[in-house]
Amino acid sequence: MMSGENNNNLYNDFPYKSYEEIQNDKKRNSKIRKGAVLFALLVVVIVGGALAVGVWFSGTPFGVFEGNLDLGIFNPTADKQQASDTSVNKNSGTKYTMPINDEPADEEMLVVSNDVTGVVKKAAPSVVGISTESYSNFMSVSSGSGIILSEDGYIVTNAHVISGGDSIAVTLEDGTVYAAYLIGSDEFTDIAVIKIDAEGLPAAEFGNSNDVKVGETAVAIGNPTGQLMGTVTCGIISAVSRNIMINNNMMELMQTDASINSGNSGGPLINKHGQVIGINSAKLSATGYEGIGFAIPINTVKPIVEELISKGYVSGRPVLGVSVREISQMASSFYDIPRGLYINSVMSSSDAKEQGLSQGDVITHIGDERIYDLSSAVAARNTLKAGETINIKVYRRGKTYSLSVVLSEQNLDNTAYNF
């Protein structure tokens, strides 16, 4: 090993400084930099002030710049002159004057402010309040609205308004209360018909919902909260055809911004002639959304009501006879199965059972259409009728099978099967 003396000789040519000397050098350099910055700022202030004074007294800085050179610097004399000139586009030299027009004297107005008092006077007597009660605790289960169909007491409302209760009470506009009984209910379209024993009732007038246009006046009358009978709200038709899933059935609904609240369900959506064009059924109530309500078009309601009154259910509607749930992308990856409709149970009396469908199968196709969700599957199924054959593909334990299944008819006994 080298001695200490020899080690020191290795660094004799290097001017090393002590720790204190290094710290002092840093402080000195910092002061020099700060001084330079302050000096530069002082020069800028002095020069800027001199330029401003020169511009103020001579119109140009110290009279140096003459002619047409535009520096964009404030010039009181020039600005006063420019303010009196007509505005000119400096790039094109084109003059522009914005025209202001008087109101047209003989032309039709494009926007009309409607007084809906006549509509309310005509339609309100046909609107009723509906409440259901449980026998177990004599508490109200739900409340909503309804529309008088006929003078002898038939009333249409939403299926969800009267479901789950043991008794149904109907309140007329004048406050008279009647006990009602169920004629028929169709949860797939959310339509129900009830009846009270009364005569000479003010039946509603129904309009053609196929003639409704976006932007038309829309009036809603109902029983919001179950305690504000006869409440009127007014808006417009926001859209005439929105595909909305109601109880696993894809429906085309009208959209309105007339306020639809809890308790308005089953009540009428009315046009400017006082005619019922739809039955208020749902609203978008998620946080951040307002004025988005939906009504079932009355032309859709008509055949359902007629079948409910004559049969108690809607005939001819197809069902495969299986209860299913959707497989998400995450579930598909986790369980290593394709996306589609996972079968939970199969109706014992269905052809689906005869063809061998069972719990755990995954429906992936209807015909040649790839199926990922229930709404598209229902839409494809509903192009057929009960008794017709539907072609499906089913995934089971790594293999895919093609099946032809005869569709059953939806009725009150198989409502537990959503596909």
pLDDT in tens, 389-406: 999 999 999 999 999 999
Which among 415, 393, 414, 419 is positioned nearest to 348, based on CA atoms?
414
Among 257, 281, 314, the domain boundary falls at 314
* 304 and 157 together in one domain: yes
197 Cβ contact list (under 8 Å, min separation 6): 153, 178
* 376 and 398 together in one domain: yes
Q: Higher-confidence residue: 27 or 166?
A: 166
CA atoms within 13 A on the CB side of 299: 11
- The pair of three-digit structure tokens given for residue 130, joined into one six-digit string: 């509906």
Q: Looking at the predicted structure, is the pLDDT value of residue 4 above 80?
A: no
* 302 and 385 together in one domain: no
Residue 16 has a pLDDT of 47
Q: How far apart are the C-alpha atoms of 377 and 328, rounded to whole Å?
A: 15
Segment among 33-47, 78-92, 230-244, 318-332 with least mean pLDDT: 78-92
Residue 65 has a pLDDT of 35
Is there a contact between 129 and 223 (Cβ–Cβ < 8 Å)?
yes
* 329 and 278 together in one domain: no
- Please report which confidence band the pLDDT of residue 147 belongs to, taking 50, 70 and 90 as the band edges: very high
368 occurs within a structural domain: yes
* 197 and 139 together in one domain: yes
Among 260, 280, 314, the domain boundary falls at 314
Q: Higher-confidence residue: 310 or 107?
A: 310
Residue 236 has a pLDDT of 93
396 occurs within a structural domain: yes
Percent of all residues in the chain with a pLDDT value above 70, rounded to a whole number: 71
Other CB atoms within 10 A of residue 126 CB? 23
Residue 13 has a pLDDT of 45
11 occurs within a structural domain: no
Query: What's the mean pLDDT in 288-298?
Result: 83
What letter would DSSP give residue 19? Answer: H
Q: How far apart are the C-alpha atoms of 289 and 150, rounded to whole Å?
A: 37
Q: Is the pTM of this model over 0.75?
A: no
| Four-point Cα dihedral 309, 313, 317, 320, nearest 10 | 180
Segment among 91-100, 170-179, 214-223, 351-360 with least mean pLDDT: 91-100
Among 293, 314, 335, the domain boundary falls at 314
Give Cα 386 distance to the centre of its chain: 33
Q: State the catalytic residues.
A: 160, 190, 265
Q: What is the pLDDT of the chain when averaged over all its residues?
A: 79
* 369 and 270 together in one domain: no
* 287 and 391 together in one domain: no
For every residue of 307-348, DSSP letters joined together read HHHHHSS-TT-EE--EEEEEPPHHHHHHHT--SSEEEEEE-T
414 occurs within a structural domain: no
- Please report which confidence band the pLDDT of residue 38 belongs to, taking 50, 70 and 90 as the band edges: low
pLDDT in tens, 218-259: 999 998 887 888 899 999 999 998 888 766 667 789 999 988
4 occurs within a structural domain: no
366 occurs within a structural domain: yes
* 243 and 302 together in one domain: yes
* 118 and 40 together in one domain: no
- The pair of three-digit structure tokens given for residue 361, joined into one six-digit string: 């199968």
Total count of domains within the chain? 3
109 occurs within a structural domain: no
Query: What's the mean pLDDT in 249-276?
Result: 88
Q: How far apart are the C-alpha atoms of 377 and 366, rounded to whole Å?
A: 7
Q: Domain holding 288: CATH number? A: 2.40.10.120
Other CB atoms within 10 A of residue 59 CB? 15
- Please report which confidence band the pLDDT of residue 346 belongs to, taking 50, 70 and 90 as the band edges: very high
Q: Looking at the predicted structure, is the pLDDT value of residue 57 above 60?
A: no
241 occurs within a structural domain: yes
* 279 and 238 together in one domain: yes
- Please report which confidence band the pLDDT of residue 27 belongs to, taking 50, 70 and 90 as the band edges: low
Specify the 3-state DSSP secondary structure of 166.
coil
Find which of 276-285, 287-296, 351-360, 377-386 is predicted with most confidence, using mean pLDDT: 351-360
* 304 and 332 together in one domain: no
- Please report which confidence band the pLDDT of residue 198 belongs to, taking 50, 70 and 90 as the band edges: very high
Residue 390, domain extent? 318-409
* 159 and 223 together in one domain: yes
